Amino acid sequence: MEPRRIDGEITLIPYYPNEDVALAWYQDAELCRQVDNRAEPYTIKRLRAMYAFLSSHGKCYYIEYRGAMVGDVTLRDDGEIAIVVCRDYQNRGIGRRCVRAMLALAAEDGMDEVRANIYAFNAQSRRMFEAVGFEQVGDEWYHFRIKEQGYDF
């Protein structure tokens, strides 16, 4: 995989072991609750297991924003999108731009639909995915039908 430049501020960097940086994001109990519904910081073992799974079941990238690593985003082979932006960098439109880039990647890969699992209490993520064009299809599931949305990636 090659880096994917989204715009003048954001580049998606293909996953590689970068535990010193990534573990810091997953030490934030509130962020962990948003991601896993558990306000328990990650251990290095858990972080490694997560990235081993994501990188072997899809395309996993770090999010580089203005030269700083600020999160990660994955498009799984089964069409699920997962994204984490550390709290210091939330509410800057980073998530929206990255999810749109994952939609473009899904279209390139021939996917018709992608989905995201978002906990009911995570209003911030729900708003972000809805702003991109995802529709709620279950209590905690959202989907985006690439061809039906008429987007030209």
Model pLDDT for residues 1-20, shown as the tens digit of each residue: 899 999 999 999 999 999 99
Instruction: Give the domain extent around 80.
Output: 4-149
pTM to 2 decimal places: 0.92
DSSP state of 41: P
- Identify the pLDDT of residue 105: 95
Total number of domains in the chain = 1
CB 42 within 8 A of CB 26: yes
What CATH number does the domain containing 100 carry?
Answer: 3.40.630.30
Model pLDDT for residues 76-109, shown as the tens digit of each residue: 999 999 999 999 999 999 999 999 999 999 999 9
CA distance 54 to 82: 9
Kindly tell me if the per-residue pLDDT of 33 is higher than 90.
no
